[in-house]
């Protein structure tokens, strides 16, 4: 069928059926968007939100690093954002610390491991963000303790992401380098996805029935 023939046929369709098609199309598009954002991309959105929270916390600490109440500020930010924080001097001395997570990685990490991350942060331009599986991370640290120079990197498998470690090197008003370590846990979202999955089944059925009835009316 030619384009002109298709247009002529479209003009002959009654207003009722045009409205019906438009409503069904709109509801279909709406349902597709709901499924994409609530199911398919939920995990990605959640991780991006956690990353932004961690970076925002680091940015606020950096802005207030010379404030005389920086210890209290770090504590408040740590509690409100559910983020562990440790601030080190260039030689590895702990300046400020806030531990609000169970089994926080940065507070249980050996000193040589922290300095290794500091070196990686320097090599990465002064900022480093990593996803780690808590169990595999501590397991690899244990292996390095046992076998000396054997280098085992933390497991970076996307499917095992459970925690975020963010490190950033900043400079205070005296020109001294300071290292920020932040750790935030990525909570499993499988249960939430299952709940939304069931809810969307009901919403899909309701929207289809509702759009058909509304279009016919």
Nearest to 155 by CA among 167, 143, 137: 137
List Cβ neighbours of 110 (8 Å cut-off, separation of 6 or more): 141, 145
CB 181 within 8 A of CB 106: yes
In this prediction, residue 156 carries a pLDDT of: 40
- Residue 115: pLDDT band with limits 50, 70, 90: confident
Q: Cα(162)–Cα(159) distance, rounded to whole angstroms?
A: 9
Greater confidence (47 vs 161) lies with 47
Instruction: Please determine, for residue 85, whether its predicted confidence score (pLDDT) is greater than 90.
Output: yes
Q: Compute φ and ψ for 16, nearest 5 degrees.
A: -60, -45
As a whole number of Å, the end-to-end CA separation of the chain is: 32
CA distances from 164 to 37, 64, 102, 167 (A): 23, 23, 14, 10
Q: Cα(150)–Cα(132) distance, rounded to whole angstroms?
A: 19
For the segment 137-167, what is each residue's pLDDT rounded down to a tens digit? 555 543 443 333 333 344 444 344 478 899 9
**CB neighbour class for 132 (10 Å; exposed up to 12, middle 13-18, buried from 19):** buried
CA 110 from centre of chain: 26
Q: Cα(190)–Cα(182) distance, rounded to whole angstroms?
A: 25
Instruction: Please determine, for residue 60, whether its predicted confidence score (pLDDT) is greater than 90.
Output: yes
What average pLDDT does this structure show over 111-115?
Answer: 86
In this prediction, residue 141 carries a pLDDT of: 44
pTM of the model: 0.66
For the segment 161-191, what is each residue's pLDDT rounded down to a tens digit? 478 899 999 998 888 899 999 998 877 656 5
Q: Tell me how long the chain is.
A: 217
User: Which CB contacts under 8 angstroms, 24+ apart, belong to 44-51?
Assistant: 46/186, 46/189, 47/161, 47/186, 50/164, 50/184, 50/186, 51/129, 51/164, 51/166
Instruction: Please determine, for residue 51, whether its predicted confidence score (pLDDT) is greater than 70.
Output: yes
pLDDT, mean over the chain: 76
Greater confidence (35 vs 62) lies with 62
SS (H, E, C) 3-66: HHHHHHHHHCCCHHHHHHHHHHHHHHHHHHHHHHHHHHCHHHHHHHHHHHHHHHHHHHHHHCCC
- Residue 132: pLDDT band with limits 50, 70, 90: confident
In this prediction, residue 107 carries a pLDDT of: 85
């Amino acid at each position: 069928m030619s384009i002109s023939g298709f247009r002529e046929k479209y003009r002959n369709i009654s207003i009722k059926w045009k409205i019906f098609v438009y409503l069904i199309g709109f509801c279909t598009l709406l349902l597709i968007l709901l499924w994409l954002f609530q199911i398919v991309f939920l995990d990605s959105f959640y991780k991006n939100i956690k990353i932004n929270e961690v970076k925002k916390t680091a940015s606020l600490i950096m802005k207030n690093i010379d404030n005389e109440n920086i210890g209290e500020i770090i504590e408040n930010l740590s509690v409100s954002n559910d983020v562990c924080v440790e601030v080190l001097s260039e030689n590895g001395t702990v300046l400020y610390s806030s531990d609000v997570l169970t089994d926080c990685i940065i507070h249980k990490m050996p000193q040589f491991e922290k300095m290794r991350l500091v070196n990686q942060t320097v090599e990465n331009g002064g900022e480093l963000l990593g996803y780690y599986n808590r169990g595999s991370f501590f397991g690899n640290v244990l292996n390095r303790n046992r076998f000396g120079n054997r280098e085992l990197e933390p497991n970076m498998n996307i499917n095992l992401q459970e925690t975020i470690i963010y490190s950033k090197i900043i400079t205070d008003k005296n020109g001294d380098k300071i290292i920020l370590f932040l750790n935030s846990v990525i909570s499993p979202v499988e249960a939430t996805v299952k709940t939304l999955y069931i809810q969307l089944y009901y919403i899909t059925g309701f929207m289809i029935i509702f759009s058909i009835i509304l279009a016919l009316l």
